[in-house]
Amino acid sequence: MASRMDRALLLLSLWALTGTVSLQASGSCPERLVGEERRRTCPRPCKADKDCGNKRQCLCDGQCGLSCVAPGRTCPWPLPPSENSVARLLSPTHSFSALFEVRCKPGFALPNGLDVTIRRCQGDRQWSGDEPNCTEAESPKPPAVQTCPLPEEVTNTFSIQGDATVGTSIRYSCLSGADIVGSSENFCQDNQTWQYPHPICKTVYCQPPREVEHGYVVAVQKIEYETGFDIHYLCKKNFLLDGPQKVTCLSNGSWSATPPYCRARCLIPAERSRVMINGVKRWPFDVTDAMVPHGENVAFYCKHPHKQCSFTAPQTCFDGKLQPPACYLEPTWLQYKLFPHRLVSEIEACKPSDDLEV
Ligand SMILES: *[C@@H]1O[C@H](CO)[C@@H](O)[C@H](O)[C@H]1NC(C)=O
Ligand SMILES: *[C@@H]1O[C@H](CO)[C@@H](O)[C@H](O)[C@H]1NC(C)=O
Ligand SMILES: *[C@@H]1O[C@H](CO)[C@@H](O)[C@H](O)[C@H]1NC(C)=O
C-alpha cells in the first residue's frame, strides 16, 4: 500500500518536474508566483528568447515560470555522499532541468514519510527542493493489546474468568451466587466487540419459610423475601426455641437455616415420688406447674427387683413428651400417705455392687 502510494507520488512529482519542461514547448508554463517560489532567487522572467541575452534562452524553470536561463549551466554534481541516502542521476547530464533521485537507505525516511524524492536542476544552478534529510524511520509501535470493553456494572456484578483480549473467551459467574440469565460465556471479537450481550444475574427471592408452631415471626409477612432479609423468631410463653433465632434470605434463594421449632414443656409423669432434675431431688409438686422444659433430663427412682434399694432411670423431655421409664411404679395414695419413708425414691440407693441384672 505504502509503496504503491510512494510510486504514485513519485510519478506525480516526476510529471510535475518534467512536465514543466515539455509544457514549455506548448507555451504553457506556471506563472511565476512571487512569494510562492521556494527558492531564494529566480532568473529574469521572459516571454520569449528575445527577451533574454544572447547566451540565454527563455525556458520554463519550475515555479519560477518562464525565465532566462543558460541551458548549459550545471548543478553541483556529484554531491557529497550522505550517510543515510543514495543519490542517483536520472538524466544524462546534471545541467538545467536534469533530474536526480535521492533514496533513503532502508530503515530511513524523509520528514514526509516517503523514502524517495526527486530534485531538478534549476536555472539558478541549484537542485530544487530542500536538502533531503533521511532520518531513522520510526519503528512501528508494538500493537497495543486489544481488548473488549468490560463496563463497571459488569465487573461489579460478575466474577470474570479470563482477560477480555481479542480472540479469547471469558466466563461469567454472578458474584451474588445467583443464576445467570443469558450466555455465561462470551467471545471478544476482532473488532473489539462482544459476540453476545452480557448476561444478567437473576434476582432471586426466598419463599416464605415454613411456619413455626407456637412461635412468633418478628418480620413483615411477605409473598417473597429479598436477599439479606432477616426473619427473627420468638416462641410463645413456656415454649423453648429449638433452632436458630434468626434466618436470612441467601442470594441463591435459600434461607440460611431451617426455621426453628418451639418445643413444649413436659408434665412430670410422677406425683407421689421424688425425681432428680438437674442434679436436685425434688417432689414434682414443688416444681413450677410440675413441668420441665423441653430437653430436660428427669431421673426417676425405680426399685431393685430383688433388693430393698433404688436406682435412677433417666428420661428426656422432648416437645411435651416425657414417658416414665418401664421400671417406674407410681406409689399408691396409701403408700404415699402411710409409709412415705418406704417410697422407692426415699429408700437407700443401690450400690454399684448390687447387680441389677440378677
Ligand atoms: C534532520 O532531521 C533531524 C530530525 O528531525 C534533525 O534533528 C536534523 O537537524 C535534520 N538535519 C538537517 C540537516 O536538516
Ligand atoms: C463486529 O464483528 C462482528 C463479527 O465479525 C459483527 O457481527 C459485528 O457487527 C461487528 N460490530 C461492529 C460494531 O462492527
Ligand atoms: C445456597 O447457598 C448455601 C450457602 O452458600 C448452600 O448451603 C445451599 O445449599 C445453597 N442452596 C441451593 C438451593 O443451592
Q: What is the CATH number of the domain that holds 17?
A: 2.10.70.10
Q: Is residue 168 domain-resident?
A: yes
Q: Which of 250, 255, 258 to probe ligand 3 with, by most ligand atoms within 8 A of CB? A: 250
302-350 pLDDT, tens digit each: 999 989 999 999 999 999 999 999 999 999 999 999 999 999 999 999 9
The closest ligand to the CA of 248 turns out to be: 3
Domain count within the chain: 4
Q: Which of 146, 188, 191 to probe ligand 2 with, by most ligand atoms within 8 A of CB? A: 191
Q: Is residue 144 domain-resident?
A: no
Give residue 189's pLDDT: 94
Contact 161, 174 (CB under 8 A): no
Which set of grid coordinates corresponds to residue 130? Answer: 530542500
Cα of 191 vs centre of ligand 2, distance in Å, is 6
Specify the residue with its C-alpha closest to ligand 3, atom 6: 254
Residue with cell 445467570: 180
The closest ligand to the CA of 193 turns out to be: 2
Q: Is residue 356 domain-resident?
A: no
Pocket of ligand 3 (CB under 6 A): 250, 252, 254
Q: Looking at the structure, do residues 243 and 167 belong to the same domain, yes or no? A: no
Q: Is residue 302 domain-resident?
A: yes
Specify the residue with its C-alpha closest to ligand 2, atom 10: 191
Q: Is residue 107 domain-resident?
A: yes
Verify whether ligand 1 is closer than 6 Å to residue 135 (CB atom).
yes
Mean pLDDT, each 10-residue run in order, the chain (358 residues): 48 46 54 62 87 88 87 87 88 90 89 87 87 80 81 91 92 86 92 93 87 89 89 95 94 90 96 95 94 96 93 96 96 94 94 71
Quote the domain boundaries for residue 324.
Answer: 266-346
267-306 pLDDT, tens digit each: 999 999 999 999 999 999 999 999 999 999 999 999 999 8
Q: Which of 117, 131, 133, 138 to probe ligand 1 with, by most ligand atoms within 8 A of CB? A: 133
Q: What is the pTM of this model?
A: 0.47
Q: Looking at the structure, do residues 195 and 303 belong to the same domain, yes or no? A: no
Q: Is residue 145 domain-resident?
A: no
